[in-house]
Chains A and B, each alone.
Chain A
Amino acid sequence: MIYDEDTAQQIRMCAACPKMCRHVCPTFLAWRSESPTPHGRALLLHQEIIGTRQLDDRAIDVLYQCLECSHCLTWCLPEIDIADIVETRRRQLVEEGRFPSGLNNMVDSIRTHHNPYKEPHEKRTSWLKIPKNDGRSLIYFTGCTAAYRENSIAQDAVSVLSSLGYQVGIPKDEWCCGSPLLRTGFVEDALEQARYNVEILNSMDAEEIVVTCPGCYRVLTQDYPKYGLEINKPVRHIAELLQSHLKSLPEFEIDGPVTFHDSCHLGRHSGVYEQPREVIERVSKGALVEMERNRDNAMCCGNGAGLRTLFPEHAKKIGAERVRQAERTGAKYLVTSCPFCKNMLESQAKDRLIVLDLPELVEMAKKRSHVKTD
C-alpha cells in the first residue's frame, strides 16, 4: 500500500463523510456531479485500499480532475488533505504508466524545452531588460508563465526590484521549476529539472532569490528540500519582499477599488496571506476590498494541478466563477500574486475587470505617482 496507516484511516473516514466540504470544491462546481468531489476521490481510494474495487480509467480521471487546491482542507474538521492524498496516488499512477494521455504534451515539452508551453528554451528570458544597479544582489527566478505568457509581470518585477535598489540577476539558463510535473505525479522528470536549477542557483552569487510564481515558490521552498535538494540562499515570494519595503513603495490615487485573489500555492500551501494585501493597501492608498471567499477560504482560479491541460472547459468555468466573485465586490481591479492565476482570471474577466499581478500594480503605482522610491 502506498499510504501509511494514518493516511489510510483518514481516507476511510473521508469515504464515509456526509460531504461536509463539498460546497467549496471547485470541481464540484464545475461538474455538478458527485464524482469529482473530495469525498468521491477518497471513496475510490478507500475501495482500492481495502480491495473492494480497483481504479478504472474513469476513476483515474476523477483523481486527475482535482485541482489540488486544498480548499476542502479549510473546511475539514479532521484535517484530511485530499490534495496531498491525490498527489500521492498520482505519483504511483505515473509509475504504473496509467496517467491520462492528455498530460503527454506537457511532460514532453518540459523534457525538451524546459517549459510546459513548447516554447523555445533560448527565448526564455533573453528578452528581459535588466537595468544596471549596484545595490544588493538578488536572483529573479522568473518561472515559465511570466517568461512566456505574462511577460509584463516579469518585466515589471525587474523594474520594481531595481527601483528598490536591487541588482537583479537572471539565471542564464533557468529550467522549469518542476511544479506542473510534481503536481501531476511525474517526480523523476521534476527532479531532473530541480537538480539542474539547484546547481545553477547555488552557483550564482547573490544574497537571495525572489520568485513571482507561487508554484515555483512552493516547489523551491518545500518540495526541493523534501527531496534533499537544498538551495543555499533564502527564497522569497515577491509579495513578501515588497512587503518588507512597504514604506519605500510608491502610492497613487487608483481609479477604483481593488480586490485580491489568493493563489492556492501562496495562500493555503505557504501561508502567505497578509503580505500582498499590505502591499496593495499601501500602493492603492487603502483601496482593497475583500471577496467573500478570501485567505484560506479563497476559491482556486481553476488552473491548478493539470486541470487546464486536461479539462480546459471546466477549468475556465471555475475561473469564470472566481471572476464573478471578484465582480461582486464592486472592484475595478482584480489583483493576484500569481502569473498562472492572472492568466486564467484575465481570460475569463474579458473587459469587465482589469486583472493585474502584484508587480504590475506596483509598477503602475510607480509610473503614476510622484513619490520617489529609494
Chain B
Amino acid sequence: MLDSKIKTKIAKQLEGIVGAQYITTQETDTVLNAHDAWPLSEAKIRAGEMLPLADIVVFPGSTEEVSEVLKIANKNKVPVTPVGGGAGTCGGTLPIYGGMQLDLKRMDKVLDIDHKSMLVRVEAGMVGIDLEEEVNRHGYMLGHTPTSMRASNVGGFLATRSGGSMSSLYGKIEDLTLGLEVVLADGSIVRTKAVPRHSVGPDLRELFIGSEGTLGVITEATLRLFPIPEERRFRSMAFVDVHSGLEAIRRIFRVGIVPSVVRFYDPEDTAMAMSQHFDVKEGDSMLLLAFDGAAEKVDHEERVSVEICKENGGKDFGDGPAKRWWAHRYDMYYPTKFTTAGFSIGDTIDIVATYDKLENVYRAMKTAMEAHEAFVMSHFSHMYQNGGSIYMIFFTSQPDAETAWATYRKIWDDGVAACLREGGTMSHQHGVGLSRSTYTEDELGSSFQVLKKIKDVLDPNGIMNPGKLGLGVQQ
C-alpha cells in the first residue's frame, strides 16, 4: 500500500493527465475493480474475505495518457496492474502489492477496418463481443471465440495469450494478431508493424503476447478478419473410451482436415454435459465437431471425418450434441446454487501436450487431482495437427474456508506436477497470473532466465504487474 501522502500526490498528478472523473481512490471502486474471474477470488468473495486492493484506479483514454501514467508510476516506483475486461481466470488483475490499477476499458474504439487486407485496428479496451458484433456488421468475424467474449477485452485476450474454441481452424490470438502497440514501463510507446510475417529478426510482437502486463501495457492491436463462412455444420460422435476418440481426432488432422471445432468430452464430462439431453451410454465419451466454409468443402470434411470416427468405433449422434453445445456454450460459466454452495470451489487446469504424451498427461493428472477427493471431469478442447489441450476441470466442497483453500492449492500443486512430469505444459490459454505463478520457473526451465532478463531490462524498477508470471515478486 502507498503511504497516504504519496498516494495523494500521485493521484493529483494522475488527475492532471486523465481528468478527475477518470481516477478514483474510493475504497468501493478499488473493491469492485480488484478481482478478475479467478475461481479462488470468487470463492473468497462468497466467503466474505477481502481481496488485495489497489490504492488508485486510473482509466486512461488514449495511448498518450497510458504513457504519461506509466512515467509517473515508474518515477515513483509504484506497482501498476493493467486491467482488461477483468475476466481472466488466474488472478492476473489482483493488485497484490497495492499501487495502481490501470484499467483500459475506456479505450474501446475500432480505429480502422482495412477491407482489402481484411484487418481491423482496435484499441485494447474494446470488449470482445462488441468487436465481434461490429465486424459482423461488415460481413466478417474475428475467428477468436473464447467463452469470455462478453467480458474480456482485446488487451486481455493478447496479454493472456488466449485461444478460442475455434482455434484449430482460425488460430489462437497470436496467429490472429498482425501488429501491436505497447507502452513500456518507462512510458515509451512501441509499435510493431502489422505485416503478415517478416524476417527482420525475432518477432517482437510475440514478446508481448502472453506477457500478462509484466512487460508493458498493450494499447492497440491489428487483428485478422475472416469472411463469415458460407456454412457451419456440426457433427457428434460417441466413443467407448478416451483412447479411440483421441485416435480419431489425430487421424482427422493427419489427413489434412482442420475442423473449426474439436471438443472431446471424457466419460465424466459427457455424463455432466450431455446425458441430460442425449441418450449417451454411461462411460462413453462424446466428440463434437464443426466444419466451416463453402458447402463443398464442408461436405468433404464432414464425410471423411465421419468415416475416420466410424473406423475408430464412433457412434453417430448427428448434429444434435455439437449444435447444442454451440448454442449453450456460455451456460456452464454462470453461477449455480450447487457450484456456489458453502465452501465449494472448482477450477480448470487447461494444459497442452503433443499426441504422444496427451493421454498419459490426462490420466496422470486425473489420478493426482482425484487423490484430494476432487470430482474431476475433462474435455480435450483445442486440437491441432500435433497435439492439443485438455480442460482438466475439478470441483471440491469442504466444510470451512481454510480447508477449502488448502485443498484447492493441493489439487493445483499435484495436478500441475503430474502434467510437467508427463511432459505437458501447464497452460494452453488461460495464462499464469497468480494461480500458476509459482510453477513458472519449473515449467519454463532454462528459458525462464531469458524471460527474467528481458523483464529486468524492460522494467528495471519491477513496477509492471509484480508477482505474476513468476516475475517481480516483491519482498
Q: Contact flags (1/0) for A31-51 with B, using CB distance below 8 Å?
A: 011110100100110110011
Residue of A at shortest CB range from B49? A52
Contact A20–B28 (Cβ < 8 Å): no
Residue of B at shortest CB range from A23? B150
Contact B334–A76 (Cβ < 8 Å): yes
- Given contact pairs A23-B130, A52-B49, A44 touches B331 in the complex (Cβ within 8 A): no
Looking at the complex, which one of B33, B50, B87, B335 makes contact with A33 (CB distance below 8 Å)?
B33
Task: Say if the beta carbon of B15 comes within 8 Å of chain A.
Answer: no
A37 CA to B103 CA in the complex, in Å?
15
Contact B333–A20 (Cβ < 8 Å): yes
Task: Say if the beta carbon of A17 comes within 8 Å of chain B.
Answer: yes
* B-contacting residues, A53-88, CB 8 Å: 53, 56, 58-59, 62, 76-78
Task: Say if the beta carbon of A19 comes within 8 Å of chain B.
Answer: yes
Closest chain B CB from A229 CB (angstroms)? 35
- Given contact pairs A9-B337, A20-B333, A78-B335, A58 touches B26 in the complex (Cβ within 8 A): yes
Closest chain A CB from B150 CB (angstroms)? 5
Task: Say if the beta carbon of A228 comes within 8 Å of chain B.
Answer: no
Looking at the complex, which one of B59, B151, B336, B337 makes contact with A32 (CB distance below 8 Å)?
B59
Contact A43–B59 (Cβ < 8 Å): no
- Given contact pairs A12-B340, A35-B28, A56-B27, A20 touches B150 in the complex (Cβ within 8 A): yes
Contact B48–A44 (Cβ < 8 Å): no
Residue of B at shortest CB range from A21? B150
Most buried by A among B43, B330, B335: B335
A292 CA to B129 CA in the complex, in Å?
13
Task: Say if the beta carbon of B148 comes within 8 Å of chain A.
Answer: yes
A residues less than 8 Å from B331 (CB atoms): 77
Task: Say if the beta carbon of A130 comes within 8 Å of chain B.
Answer: no
Task: Say if the beta carbon of A344 comes within 8 Å of chain B.
Answer: no
A15 CA to B45 CA in the complex, in Å?
7
Task: Say if the beta carbon of A354 comes within 8 Å of chain B.
Answer: no
* A-contacting residues, B331-352, CB 8 Å: 331, 333-337, 340
- Given contact pairs A34-B33, A56-B27, A78-B336, A20 touches B137 in the complex (Cβ within 8 A): no
Task: Say if the beta carbon of B254 comes within 8 Å of chain A.
Answer: no
Contact B28–A58 (Cβ < 8 Å): yes
- Given contact pairs A23-B150, A34-B86, A18 touches B340 in the complex (Cβ within 8 A): no
Task: Say if the beta carbon of A258 comes within 8 Å of chain B.
Answer: no
Task: Say if the beta carbon of A14 comes within 8 Å of chain B.
Answer: yes
A12 CA to B45 CA in the complex, in Å?
9
- Given contact pairs A9-B337, A16-B335, A62 touches B32 in the complex (Cβ within 8 A): yes
A179 CA to B335 CA in the complex, in Å?
32
A78 CA to B334 CA in the complex, in Å?
7
- Given contact pairs A16-B43, A33-B103, A23 touches B151 in the complex (Cβ within 8 A): yes
Closest chain B CB from A62 CB (angstroms)? 6
Task: Say if the beta carbon of A342 comes within 8 Å of chain B.
Answer: no
Residue of B at shortest CB range from A80? B335
B residues less than 8 Å from A21 (CB atoms): 150
Looking at the complex, which one of B32, B42, B85, B336 makes contact with A35 (CB distance below 8 Å)?
B32
Contact B50–A20 (Cβ < 8 Å): no
Contact A13–B340 (Cβ < 8 Å): yes
Looking at the complex, which one of A20, A43, A76 makes contact with B32 (CB distance below 8 Å)?
A43
Closest chain B CB from A80 CB (angstroms)? 9
A59 CA to B83 CA in the complex, in Å?
21
Q: How many residues on chain A are close to B (CB under 8 Å)?
A: 36
* A-contacting residues, B124-159, CB 8 Å: 125, 127, 129-130, 133, 137, 148, 150-151
A34 CA to B26 CA in the complex, in Å?
13
Task: Say if the beta carbon of A316 comes within 8 Å of chain B.
Answer: no
A residues less than 8 Å from B49 (CB atoms): 52
A17 CA to B190 CA in the complex, in Å?
36
A residues less than 8 Å from B32 (CB atoms): 33-35, 37, 40, 43-44, 62
Task: Say if the beta carbon of A124 comes within 8 Å of chain B.
Answer: no
**Cβ-Cβ contact count across A and B, 8 Å cutoff:** 106
- Given contact pairs A9-B337, A43-B45, A20 touches B330 in the complex (Cβ within 8 A): yes
- Given contact pairs A32-B106, A33-B103, A46-B45, A17 touches B335 in the complex (Cβ within 8 A): yes
B residues less than 8 Å from A13 (CB atoms): 335-337, 340
A residues less than 8 Å from B57 (CB atoms): 33
A residues less than 8 Å from B28 (CB atoms): 35, 44, 56, 58-59, 62
A56 CA to B42 CA in the complex, in Å?
22
Contact B335–A19 (Cβ < 8 Å): no
- Given contact pairs A23-B150, A56-B27, A59-B28, A47 touches B48 in the complex (Cβ within 8 A): yes
B residues less than 8 Å from A12 (CB atoms): 46, 340
Looking at the complex, which one of A22, A35, A56 makes contact with B150 (CB distance below 8 Å)?
A22
B residues less than 8 Å from A58 (CB atoms): 26-29
Task: Say if the beta carbon of A328 comes within 8 Å of chain B.
Answer: yes
B residues less than 8 Å from A78 (CB atoms): 334-337
A83 CA to B377 CA in the complex, in Å?
36
A residues less than 8 Å from B103 (CB atoms): 33-34
Looking at the complex, which one of A23, A33, A53 makes contact with B29 (CB distance below 8 Å)?
A33
* B-contacting residues, A152-199, CB 8 Å: none
Residue of B at shortest CB range from A313? B21
* B-contacting residues, A337-359, CB 8 Å: none
Closest chain B CB from A360 CB (angstroms)? 30
Contact B334–A19 (Cβ < 8 Å): no
Residue of A at shortest CB range from B86? A34
Q: Contact flags (1/0) for B72-88 with A, using CB distance below 8 Å?
A: 00000000000101110
Contact B33–A52 (Cβ < 8 Å): no
Task: Say if the beta carbon of B207 comes within 8 Å of chain A.
Answer: no
Residue of A at shortest CB range from B336? A78
B residues less than 8 Å from A44 (CB atoms): 28, 31-32
Residue of B at shortest CB range from A19? B151
Task: Supply 7 further A-B pairs (C-beta < 8 A) apart from A17-B334, A19-B85.
Answer: A12-B340, A19-B87, A22-B150, A23-B151, A33-B57, A47-B48, A62-B32
In order of increasing CB-CB distance, the 4 nearest A-B pairs are A18-B37, A16-B42, A13-B335, A58-B28
* 30 pairs from A and B in contact (CB 8 Å cutoff): A13-B337, A14-B335, A16-B340, A17-B335, A18-B87, A19-B37, A20-B150, A20-B333, A21-B150, A23-B130, A23-B150, A32-B59, A33-B24, A33-B57, A34-B32, A34-B86, A35-B29, A35-B32, A37-B32, A43-B31, A43-B45, A46-B45, A46-B46, A47-B48, A52-B49, A52-B50, A56-B26, A56-B27, A58-B29, A328-B137
